[in-house]
Structures are given as C-alpha cells and as structure tokens.
C-alpha cells in the first residue's frame, strides 16, 4: 500500500521505505514517462566533458542519455538515498562499463559530492524539491552558470479534473507530501535565474529550467 500523503513536509524515512518497495519494478513504472526524461536532459544542454548531478537518480534510468552527451571525458554523479535503488543503478553502470559514473548513497540534503558540476537534473524528485536544505546542498556543488532542470507532477488547472485525478493517484504512490504540488519548482526558482516552466501531459507534469548564478540571489 502507498504511504499516506499529506500537505506536511516530506518524510524522508517514509520515502526511503516507499522506494525500497518499488525498486524491483521501478523501471517498468517509469516507462510511460521516458519521453519527458529525454526532453529534460536535452534542456540541460550538456557538452562533452561536462559534469552533471543526477539528483535522486533512482535505478540510473537517466545515465545512458546523460552519458551520450557528456561522453567518456565527462562525469555523472548519481545521488540516491535508497540502497536498493542504488544497487540497481550500480548494476546498470557495471553492465554498460561506464567508468565515469560516481554513485553517492545519501539524502540530497547531506550528500557529500566531490565535484563542482556544470548541470543538475532533478527528475521526478518532488520531495527533494520541497526541502530547502536539499536544494541548497545540491546547488552548492554547482559552478556559476550551471544549468538546472527539474521535472515532476503538478496540479493542472481545476477544470482539468481527469488530469488531476491522475496526478492525485500518481502522487499517492510516489511522494510523501502534496505540499507545493501547485508550483513544485518554486523553492528551486528562488535560487535560479532565467527560469522557464512548461507543462506537458495535459498539464499534469512540468519541466522547469534555469541557470544558477549564486551572486544574484
């Protein structure tokens, strides 16, 4: 059964338990959303040799697309608090013989990253994006001018009740709090410039992109 969802702050322990249960079939669950992943990664505008943070990397579903863009001279840092999910990511790295992927098993708020990155991806990481400490820690590992892209569920306009029914069911299954589901990117937006937000899947999913210029915030 999914963890009960409220409007309170995200529950890290509940999220860990939730994703431990989902690890074995997570890839199949996310399959319908793969086009969004591709679009989000394209928005990062990665170049060969770049370093990119994959925040809440899960089983490493983004690694292949990221690797194609940064190349063997680039670097991918996957950050994931769930050991069972990270085990799947580790197997993916091993099977593809990627030697430039570093995996960090820790919450985004406390993860220690040995890099200053050119870009960061937050793909369907609602709980992370509602935690200021997590955002701050990840942005602290970005270079000035780094590109940041976030995607995830959002409430559609009230009249789009079929979409919102889908969002509700998906949120009950995948997040621990509905707090901020109206504008899930707003805490991140306060730390970025040139923010652009677009909606897809009939308004139930967003893609937000911006640039990190710490001296402007």
Q: Is the pLDDT of residue 1 over 50?
A: no
Predicted local distance difference test score (pLDDT) of residue 217: 62
Domain containing 115 — which CATH number? 3.40.50.150
Contact 148/119 with Cβ under 8 angstroms?
yes
185-203 pLDDT per residue, tens: 999 999 999 999 999 999 9
Residue in this structure with the two tokens 């780094």, named with its chain if needed: 146
127-150 pLDDT per residue, tens: 999 999 999 999 999 999 999 999
Predicted local distance difference test score (pLDDT) of residue 16: 84
Q: Is the pLDDT of residue 9 over 90?
A: no
Within a domain: residue 4? no
Number of domains, the chain:
1
Predicted local distance difference test score (pLDDT) of residue 6: 53
DSSP one-letter string for 79-113: EES-HHHHHHHHHHHHHHT-SSEEEEES-TTT---
Computed on alpha carbons and rounded to an integer, the radius of gyration of the chain in Å comes to 16
Q: Is the pLDDT of residue 4 over 90?
A: no
Within a domain: residue 93? yes
Give the pLDDT mean for 109-118: 94
If you ran DSSP here, which 8-state letter would residue 7 be given? S
Residue in this structure with the two tokens 């937050």, named with its chain if needed: 122
Q: Read off the pTM.
A: 0.93
Report the share of the chain in percent with pLDDT over 90. 80
If you ran DSSP here, which 8-state letter would residue 126 be given? H
Predicted local distance difference test score (pLDDT) of residue 13: 85
Beta-sheet strand order (sheet of 193-200): 101-105, 75-80, 51-55, 117-123, 142-153, 205-212, 193-200
Q: Is the pLDDT of residue 78 over 90?
A: yes
pLDDT-based confidence at 61, cuts 50/70/90?
Answer: very high
Higher per-residue confidence, 12 vs 87: 87
Within a domain: residue 145? yes
Within a domain: residue 127? yes
pLDDT-based confidence at 215, cuts 50/70/90?
Answer: confident
Q: Is the pLDDT of residue 91 over 70?
A: yes
Give the pLDDT mean for 110-123: 95
Within a domain: residue 1? no
Report the alpha-carbon distance of residue 128 to residue 122 in Å, rounded: 8
Predicted local distance difference test score (pLDDT) of residue 99: 96
Task: Give the side-chain half-sphere CA count within 13 A for 84.
Answer: 13
Give the pLDDT mean for 40-64: 97
Within a domain: residue 206? yes
Higher per-residue confidence, 204 vs 18: 204
Within a domain: residue 130? yes
pLDDT, averaged across the chain: 93
- Domain span including residue 75: 12-216
Predicted local distance difference test score (pLDDT) of residue 18: 87
pLDDT-based confidence at 3, cuts 50/70/90?
Answer: very low
């Amino acid at each position: 059964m999914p963890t009960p969802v409220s409007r309170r702050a995200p529950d890290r322990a509940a999220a860990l338990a939730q994703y431990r249960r989902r690890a074995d079939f997570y890839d199949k669950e996310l399959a319908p959303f793969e086009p969004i992943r591709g679009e989000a990664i394209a928005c990062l505008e990665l170049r060969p040799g770049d370093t990119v943070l994959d925040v809440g990397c899960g089983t490493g579903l983004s690694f292949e697309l990221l690797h194609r863009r940064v190349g063997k001279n680039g670097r991918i840092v996957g950050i994931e608090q769930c050991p069972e999910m990270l085990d799947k990511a580790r197997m993916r790295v091993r099977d593809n013989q990627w030697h430039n992927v570093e995996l960090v098993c820790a919450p985004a708020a406390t993860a220690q990253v040995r890099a200053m990155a050119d870009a960061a991806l937050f793909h369907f990481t609602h709980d992370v994006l509602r935690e200021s400490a997590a955002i701050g820690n990840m942005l602290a590992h970005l270079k000035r001018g780094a590109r940041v892209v976030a995607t995830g569920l959002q409430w559609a306009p009230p009249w789009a009740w079929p979409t919102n029914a889908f969002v509700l069911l998906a949120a009950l299954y995948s997040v621990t709090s509905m707090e901020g589901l109206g504008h899930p990117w707003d805490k991140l937006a306060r730390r970025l410039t040139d923010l652009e937000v677009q909606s897809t899947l009939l308004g139930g999913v967003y893609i937000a992109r911006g640039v990190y210029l710490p001296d402007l915030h």
